[in-house]
């Protein structure tokens, strides 16, 4: 009930609005004594008075009453005529915004530390690589494994026994192995891993028709390497196979290191099994997402191949015609080419592994040898520009860049089976990515240019088609090239929403994250974690530069877009 005045004849006391801040917050009467009112003096509080300005427009726009307007009045007439701050609209005037689908893979986090690293180019170059390293939870104390060629010896991992009920039965055509576990792993290699290495089921994977038969007839170390690869791939979804992968891989690595240290180096180099083991170990590291360790096997294979070729020249034997050796050499050379497109580092394998006249599409490469040869030349020309930015103004450089562009535009990649549409799409996807890479690395193209936007749109469409048909091989590099050249200020629609399944985003950035998540969930043979980390970092760098009023310190004036944003982050990145 309302309080009654002691003396009804006295006029009502009006509420004062000039009291101190403490009394107003406590809602008690302030005697307004200065410098300290009675209430604050009695309680021992600091007494202060401030003025807070309030604007009626701010309250009205927020749908709130300004002061006591419209709340109450002693006069009924005034109360009925008081205006309400609420705004009433009809259903026809309301338009509801559709809530977008948010998935777990769509979240990109950036911290204050990320922004601080972008303030100078010097900090970026020093801190970008370790910031992107993927540290395995069980290998945090493994600091010397790269130098010792052993990523497994210092791992601390509890032993798990694989669950027998979750392992498919072994294929009847496989030979007897020491244990059912080995037979099941070999079945997994043949049924699950080999199909992931080619973009089309029409063509058999060389990992099935070359590597598998050789492992049956060669040393046990080659077969153990295949089993370790299968266990490593399977451990991505079932950690119970992690201990098996470590144990088998350690045995293979011990055997390889023992041969290299005790046997005749020429004999080891001439043995095809040595290259096969190093290739499988390289693939193991890529699947295991050990960022730079796969490069150790790549460099070791280069040295063995050099010894092998030098011995053949001395013996006047001519080049090797062994199909297995040719494939292992092609595997290492292709890994080197695709990896260097991103980082622009010195080549490990030369361009002599590729012929510019090869227009036949290779089922494992997903493109022709001619396209890979053009990529080699683009990368070498880009490396010259990176070391000497002013070289791009020379007529000779411009002529070479224009010549490579003409060769790419006129390149026709033949597919023997005309019905093999997936292989044709894969070859065209890589050709478009090569064109985009050329424009950015040699011609200074930027994400805002219509030429770049058009190429990105075509690449994303082909990636979407191949993903829809279950193709996982060879998508990492084209997807990476398109993703790092997205304009941070405008995320365009690459397709109409009604033309896509509900779960497929039609905007560029969400689709890139969706595609990477699809590759990761399907256990594609690629380093998806590192690839996404680099893409996110490139997006962050571009956004920072767009909103920053100052340019990065120490940035060379002649750097193009690719050299500024992508190359410094891509050391040791596998994209093949």
Rounded to an integer, what distance in angstroms lies between the CA atom of residue 523 and that of residue 498? 29
Residue 237, in any domain of the structure: yes
Helix axes of 293-314 and 323-343: crossing angle, nearest 10 degrees: 130
pLDDT digits (tens, 9 = 90+) for 344-390: 777 777 666 776 667 888 888 889 988 999 999 999 888 888 888 78
The answer on 334 and 185 residing in a single domain is yes
Residues 182 and 326 in one domain: yes
Q: Residue 29 sits in which domain range?
A: 18-49
The 3 state secondary structure assigned to 333-353 is HHHHHHHHHHHCCCCCCCHHH
* Any domain includes 323: yes
321 is a domain residue: yes
- The residue from 31, 49, 67 where one domain ends is 49
Report yes or no on 285 lying in a domain.
yes
Is residue 52 over pLDDT 80?
A: no
Helices (H) and strands (E) in the chain — how many of each?
Answer: 23, 2
Report the domain count for the chain. 2
DSSP for 32-88 reads: --SSS-HHHHHHT-----------HHHHHHTT---TTTTT--SSHHHHHHPPPS---
Q: Residue 511: inside a domain, yes or no?
A: no
Predicted confidence (pLDDT) per residue in 403-435, tens digit? 999 999 998 888 888 778 899 999 999 999 999
Residue pair 193/411 in contact by the 8 Å Cβ criterion = no
| 358 found inside a domain | no
43 and 188 share one domain: no
- Please answer whether residues 368 and 424 qualify as being in contact, where contact means their C-beta atoms are separated by less than 8 angstroms: no
Distance, CA of 118 to CA of 116 (rounded, Å): 5
DSSP code for 414: B
Rounded to an integer, the average pLDDT of 208-224 is 87
Distance CA 199, CA 465 (A): 12
Q: Write the CB contacts of 96 (distance below 8 Å, at least 6 apart in sequence).
A: none
Q: How many CA atoms does the CB half-sphere of 108 hold within 13 Å?
A: 15
For residue 143, is pLDDT > 50?
A: no
Find the mean pLDDT for residues 538-560. 68
| Alpha-carbon span 38 to 20, nearest angstrom | 11
CA distances from 305 to 260, 310, 354 (A): 14, 8, 15
pTM > 0.85? no
| Domain end (from 331, 352, 373) | 352
Looking at 332, 352, 372, which one is the last position of a domain?
A: 352
Residue 208 lies in a domain: yes
**CATH code: domain of residue 34:** 4.10.240.10
Mean pLDDT of 131-135: 33
Residue 230's nearest CA partner among 262, 206, 260, 207 is 207
Confidence band of 165 (pLDDT split at 50, 70, 90): very low
- Is residue 199 in a domain? yes
């Amino acid at each position: 009930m309302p309080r009654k005045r002691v003396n009804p004849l006295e006029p009502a006391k009006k509420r004062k609005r000039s009291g101190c801040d403490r009394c107003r917050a406590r809602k008690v009467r302030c005697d307004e004594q200065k410098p300290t009112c009675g209430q604050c003096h009695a309680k021992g509080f600091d007494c202060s008075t401030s003025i807070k300005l309030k604007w009626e427009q701010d309250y009205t726009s927020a749908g709130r009453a300004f002061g006591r307007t419209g709340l109450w009045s002693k006069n009924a007439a005034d109360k009925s005529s008081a205006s309400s701050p609420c705004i009433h609209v009809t259903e026809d005037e309301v338009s509801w915004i559709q809530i977008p689908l948010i998935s777990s893979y769509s979240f990109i986090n950036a911290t204050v530390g990320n922004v601080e690293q972008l303030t100078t180019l010097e900090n970026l170059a020093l801190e970008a690589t370790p910031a992107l390293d993927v540290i395995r939870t069980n290998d945090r104390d493994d600091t010397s494994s790269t130098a010792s060629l052993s990523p497994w010896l210092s791992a601390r991992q509890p032993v798990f026994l694989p669950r027998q009920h979750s392992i498919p039965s072994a294929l009847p055509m496989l030979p007897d192995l020491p244990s059912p576990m080995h037979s099941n792993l070999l079945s997994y290699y043949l049924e699950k891993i080999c199909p992931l290495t080619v973009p089309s089921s029409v063509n058999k994977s060389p990992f099935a028709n070359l590597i598998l038969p050789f492992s049956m007839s060669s040393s046990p170390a080659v077969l153990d390497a295949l089993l370790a690869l299968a266990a490593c791939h399977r451990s991505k979804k079932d950690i119970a196979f992690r201990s098996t992968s470590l144990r088998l891989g350690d045995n293979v690595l011990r055997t390889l290191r023992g041969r290299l240290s005790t046997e005749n180096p020429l004999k080891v180099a001439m043995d095809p099994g040595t290259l096969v083991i190093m290739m499988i170990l390289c693939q193991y590291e890529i699947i295991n997402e050990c960022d730079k360790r796969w490069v150790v096997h790549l460099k070791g294979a280069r040295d063995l191949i050099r010894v092998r070729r030098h011995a053949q020249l001395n013996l006047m034997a001519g080049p090797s015609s062994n199909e297995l050796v040719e494939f292992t050499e092609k595997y290492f050379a292709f890994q080197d080419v695709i990896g260097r497109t991103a980082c622009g580092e010195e080549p490990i394998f030369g361009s002599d592994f590729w012929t510019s006249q090869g227009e036949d599409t290779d089922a494992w490469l997903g493109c022709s040898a001619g396209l890979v040869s053009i990529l080699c030349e683009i990368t070498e020309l880009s490396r010259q520009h990176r070391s000497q930015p002013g070289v791009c103004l020379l007529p000779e450089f411009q002529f070479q860049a224009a010549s490579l562009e003409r060769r790419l535009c006129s390149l026709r990649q033949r597919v023997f089976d005309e019905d093999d549409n997936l292989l044709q799409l894969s070859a065209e996807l890589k050709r478009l990515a090569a064109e985009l890479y050329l424009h950015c690395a040699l011609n200074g193209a930027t994400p805002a240019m219509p030429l770049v936007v058009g190429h990105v749109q075509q690449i994303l469409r082909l990636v979407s088609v191949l993903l829809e048909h279950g193709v996982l091989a060879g998508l990492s590099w084209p997807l990476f090239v398109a993703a790092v050249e997205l304009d941070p200020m405008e995320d365009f629609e690459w397709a109409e929403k009604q033309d896509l399944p509900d779960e497929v985003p039609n905007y560029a950035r969400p689709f890139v994250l969706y595609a990477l998540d699809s590759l990761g969930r399907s256990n594609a043979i690629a380093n998806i974690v590192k690839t996404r980390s680099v893409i996110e970092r490139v997006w962050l760098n571009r956004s920072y530069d767009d909103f920053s009023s100052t340019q990065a310190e120490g940035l060379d004036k002649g750097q193009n877009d690719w050299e500024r944003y992508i190359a410094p982050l891509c050391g040791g990145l596998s994209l093949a």
